[in-house]
Structure 1
Amino acid sequence: MADDTIHAAGCVLWRRSPVDSALEICLVHRPKYDDWSHPKGKLKRGEGFLTGALREVEEETGYDAVPGAVLPTLHYLVDGRPKEVRYWAGEAAAGRFAPNDEVDRVLWLSPTAARHRLTQPRDRDLVDALLDALRPA
Structure 2
Amino acid sequence: MNGADTVLAAGCVLWRRSPYGDGGIEICLVHRPKYDDWSHPKGKLKRGEDALGAAMREVREETGHRCVPGARLPTARYLANGRPKEVTYWAAEMTSGSFAAGAEVDRIVWLPPAAARNRLTHPRDRALVDALMQALHTA
> What is the TM-score with the length of structure 2 in the denominator?
0.95
- Misfit runs of 4+, over 4 Å: none
User: 2:41 aligns to what?
Assistant: 39
**What does the per-residue CA deviation read over 1:23-78, in whole Å, with 9 as the maximum and x for residues that have no partner?**
10000000000000000000101100000000000000000110000000000001
Distance 1:108 1:44, change over 3 A: same
Deviation of residue 4 (structure 1)? 1.1
User: 1:91 aligns to what?
Assistant: 93
d(CA) in 1 for partners of 2:78, 2:24: 32
Which amino acid in the other structure matches residue 4 of structure 1? D
User: 1:13 aligns to what?
Assistant: 14
**Count of equivalent residues:** 136
d(CA) in 2 for partners of 1:2, 1:94: 36
Deviation of residue 3 (structure 1)? 1.1
Deviation of residue 2 (structure 1)? 6.8
Distance 1:118 1:3, change over 3 A: same
d(CA) in 2 for partners of 1:78, 1:17: 34
Which amino acid in the other structure matches residue 67 of structure 1? P
Of 103, 106, 109 in structure 2, the residue corresponding to residue 104 of structure 1 is 106
Tell me, which stretches of 5 or more residues in structure 2 are unaligned? none
> What is the TM-score with the length of structure 1 in the denominator?
0.96
SS in 2 for 1:46: coil
Tell me, which stretches of 5 or more residues in structure 1 are unaligned? none
SS in 2 for 1:107: strand
Superposition map of 1:60-75 within 5 A:
60-75=62-77
Of 61, 78, 81 in structure 2, the residue corresponding to residue 79 of structure 1 is 81
